[in-house]
Structure 1
Amino acid sequence: MTLEFSSSDDAPTFEGVIAALDDGTCREIIAVLEEPMTVHEVADATDRPLSTTYRKLDSLTTAGLVEETVGVRQGRHQKSRYVANLNRISIDLDDDNELRVDVDLSAELGFWSNVTREF
């Protein structure tokens, strides 16, 4: 079964990105997401409870720093996997001297959309 990425037309908000980056657990999760991982794998890798991991992954996904993949079959159930999808984050002032955040998405993320994985 092929991995497919959920998509949202909403750009991440400045506040959402800053809040996620200000959270040490979120930064720790970003650091371990070099390839798609399930929530259980992320929780194990970061030694965090599942409830915390779910909450932090939701914040990171909303902030646009992590992508959720679907379609991984494990037995009869499909499991979501998450992967960090950024190369660089920059914060600067726009022409009106307002802070703005730019998240440069990873060009390599497209690789994961073509991965087939069956269990």
Structure 2
Amino acid sequence: MSLEFSSSDDAPDLECVIAALDDGDCREIITVLEEPMTVHEVAEATDRPLSTTYRKLDALSDAGLVEEAGGIRRGRHQKARYVANLERISIGFDDANELRVEIDRSSNLGLWSEITQEF
């Protein structure tokens, strides 16, 4: 499924997507998020501080490139897990010569969003 981002409140704008893709830390995080991971797991896998990891995951979420996919429940607390939700990104001009972004979403996210582990 391809989505065209517009300036509506629920879709990230082109600048947000480009800024996330221009950030090396964000690109590295996307590569490790093949399956859902907690913020701590992402920080460990990318050898980044937790504060940076939280900030980059926020930017990627705002850009619509990663999504929360359920959580891990430990006692009364649930830790969010994140997963990359894309297979391909295209940036190009539309018929009105306006830049637009299309993201082919991963069809596997539905599986991950249904899973919640309990410990």
Same fold (TM over 0.5): yes
* Identical amino acids, percent of aligned pairs: 76
Aligned residues: 111
Residue 15 of structure 1: CA displacement?
A: 0.4
Provide structure 2 residue ranges, at least 5 long, that are not aligned to the other structure. 1-8
Structure 1 position 112, deviation (Å): 0.7
Could you give the per-residue CA deviations for residues 43-100 of structure 1, whole angstroms, max 9, x where no partner exists? Answer: 0000000000000000000000000134420233110010000011001101111111
Counterpart mapping for 1:1-119 below 5 A: 10-119=10-119
Partner letter of residue 60 of structure 1? L
TM-score (norm 1): 0.88
CA distance in 1, matches of 2:116, 2:26: 28
Mapped to 2, the partners of 1:42 and 1:69 lie a distance apart of: 14
Give unmatched runs, 5+ long, in structure 1: 1-8
Judge which range, 94-103 or 54-63, deviates more.
94-103
**Residue identity matched to 1:17:** V
Task: Give me the TM-score of the superposition, normalised by structure 2.
Answer: 0.88
CA–CA separation in structure 2 for the residues paired with 1:57 and 1:70: 15
